[in-house]
Amino acid sequence: MGIQKASVTRALYDTCAFAVVRVPTVERGPEVAEGLLGGGVGAMEVSYTLPSAGGVISGIRERFGGDMLVGAGTVMEATTARLAVMAGAQFVVANTLSDGVARVCNLYQVPHPPRRTTVTEANRALEIGAAFVKCFPISNAYGPQLVGLFKTPTPWMPLMASGGINLGNLAEWVRSGVDACGMGSLLTRGSADEIARSAAEVRRIIDETRAQMGA
């Protein structure tokens, strides 16, 4: 348990891809997870924009155990962060920088990627213990060149891009040095079999690109 923050952070880097999930029912969550695992993508972020998020997280953790890495998304304040951790969230993605969320996550050793849009904000996030800096919504605006904008002055900064990533540009994102990529409809739409096919293509692109890079 003492190294859970490090092990989850490493697992997010290793899988690189994760699904950003907003599901209206608790039952839909495991169906998406089944498809993701079938295609080789073992991580998903369940958004707290819907009241079912806690039940979705706990249901997936109960059914799939350690096979699926499950995080909470759109966490804005400390109360939601604590509820997410109690539901079983293994990482907590914030859509803003909250000292309260950071304190809860650091206390329970849960990786915490907050959303940032400038290098100054990103460095502040690292100061309070962020495992990754989430580049959203600016990943939509800048594309893969965003990674260089952040990592040229601060090459040690771990970046999580979410938004604007698709099969056509995923390899470019990976080559640019992004550490984790969040994808919405690409990895959440359709039946479990359809999600598995999309996830398998994502897995192939990431693995082949990293192999070419010697990563």
C-beta atoms surrounding 58 within 10 Å: 17
134 classed as catalytic: yes
List the catalytic residue out of 5, 31, 45, 201: 45
Q: In the predicted model, what is the mean pLDDT of the chain? A: 94
Rg (CA), the chain: 16
List the catalytic residue out of 5, 31, 134, 172: 134
What pLDDT score does 182 carry?
A: 96
At 63-90, the pLDDT tens digits run 999 999 999 999 999 999 999 999 999 9
C-beta atoms surrounding 94 within 10 Å: 26
Residues of the chain with pLDDT under 50: 1
C-beta atoms surrounding 100 within 10 Å: 15
What pLDDT score does 2 carry?
A: 57
Nearest alpha-carbon partner for 168 in 186, 182, 150: 186
pTM for the whole structure = 0.94
